[in-house]
Chains A and B, each alone.
Chain A
Amino acid sequence: DGGITQSPKYLFRKEGQNVTLSCEQNLNHDAMYWYRQDPGQGLRLIYYSQIVNDFQKGDIAEGYSVSREKKESFPLTVTSAQKNPTAFYLCASSANRVTTGNTIYFGEGSWLTVV
């Protein structure tokens, strides 16, 4: 099946630890995105990448890092510098830029809880 796979679905982390969320897509999409969803705040863009080996900060990039070494993979690292990391994280991809008419497709998300 074609789609976006995020893992793990649920993750618990101790304060002070870094954690990496995986996102893989087999849709041959150029662009990939990471959003964070908090209750009552909608989705906020963390990082995005429109091409391999390139990525841009979104609205709330502080405390996060990404890499885009392969077209199909866009892992997100939540570092210990992120003050409020407990959230639902969504990975997404699109064929190319949204402004050319392409739709963003989302994965099923990863729940991160810091204990």
Chain B
Amino acid sequence: AQSVSQHNHHVILSEAASLELGCNYSYGGTVNLFWYVQYPGQHLQLLLKYFSGDPLVKGIKGFEAEFIKSKFSFNLRKPSVQWSDTAEYFCAVLGAGGADFGNEKLTFGTGTRLTIIP
């Protein structure tokens, strides 16, 4: 079975600070990885996704994430955060080719609440 861990439950940063949110997954095979963001009062939106190829993935609004297979990690980064980045961030994993293949069990982490102080 697959699982996702997001160790940071609440992160508070000042504007212009650099951001890194941790995401570790557990799965023995090939994975597809996602970061979703939920702004206050809005629906979940895809920030970026990794399926194959370059492990450094660039998403919307200046976010990027790096897939490090040896560490089972897919951390989200942004060099300089803005007040508008205040939101909840979810990492998700889908194990491709495993027991859940074709069953579309996109497993989410518990989320990290990010608060940016102006």
Q: Which residues of A contact B (CB under 8 A)?
A: 4, 31, 33, 35, 40-45, 48, 50, 56, 58-59, 90, 92, 94, 97-99, 101, 103-109
| Number of CB contacts from chain A to chain B under 8 A | 59
Q: Is the CB of B104 within 8 A of A48?
A: yes
A-B residue pairs in contact (CB < 8 Å), sample of 8 = A31-B104, A42-B6, A42-B90, A45-B105, A45-B107, A59-B105, A97-B104, A101-B51
Of A50, A56, A99, the contact of B94 (CB 8 Å cutoff): A99
Question: Once bound together, how far apart are the Cα atoms of A31 and B105, in whole Å?
Answer: 12
Stretch at the interface among B41-49, B63-71, B78-86: B41-49
Q: Let me know if B56 is at the binding interface, CB within 8 A.
A: no
Q: Which residues of A contact B6 (CB under 8 A)?
A: 42
Would you call the interface of chain A mostly helix, strand, loop, or mixed?
Answer: strand
Q: How many residues of B contact A (CB 8 A)?
A: 28
Q: Let me know if B26 is at the binding interface, CB within 8 A.
A: no
Question: Once bound together, how far apart are the Cα atoms of A42 and B106, in whole Å?
Answer: 12
| B101: min CB distance to chain A, Å | 6
Q: Is the CB of A106 within 8 A of B90?
A: no
Q: Which residues of B contact A (CB under 8 A)?
A: 4, 6, 9, 32, 34, 36, 42-46, 49, 51, 90, 92, 94, 96, 101-111
Question: Once bound together, how far apart are the Cα atoms of A42 and B6, in whole Å?
Answer: 10
Q: Is the CB of B110 within 8 A of A98?
A: no
Of B42, B44, B46, chain A has the most CB atoms within 10 Å of the CB of B44
| B104: min CB distance to chain A, Å | 5
Question: Once bound together, how far apart are the Cα atoms of A105 and B104, in whole Å?
Answer: 13
Q: Is the CB of A98 within 8 A of B94?
A: yes
Question: Once bound together, how far apart are the Cα atoms of A99 and B43, in whole Å?
Answer: 22
Q: Is the CB of A103 within 8 A of B94?
A: no
| A74: min CB distance to chain B, Å | 13
Q: Is the CB of A106 within 8 A of B105?
A: no
Q: Which residues of A contact B9 (CB under 8 A)?
A: 40
| A92: min CB distance to chain B, Å | 8
Question: Once bound together, how far apart are the Cα atoms of A82 and B108, in whole Å?
Answer: 22
**Closest chain B residue to A57, Cβ basis:** B103
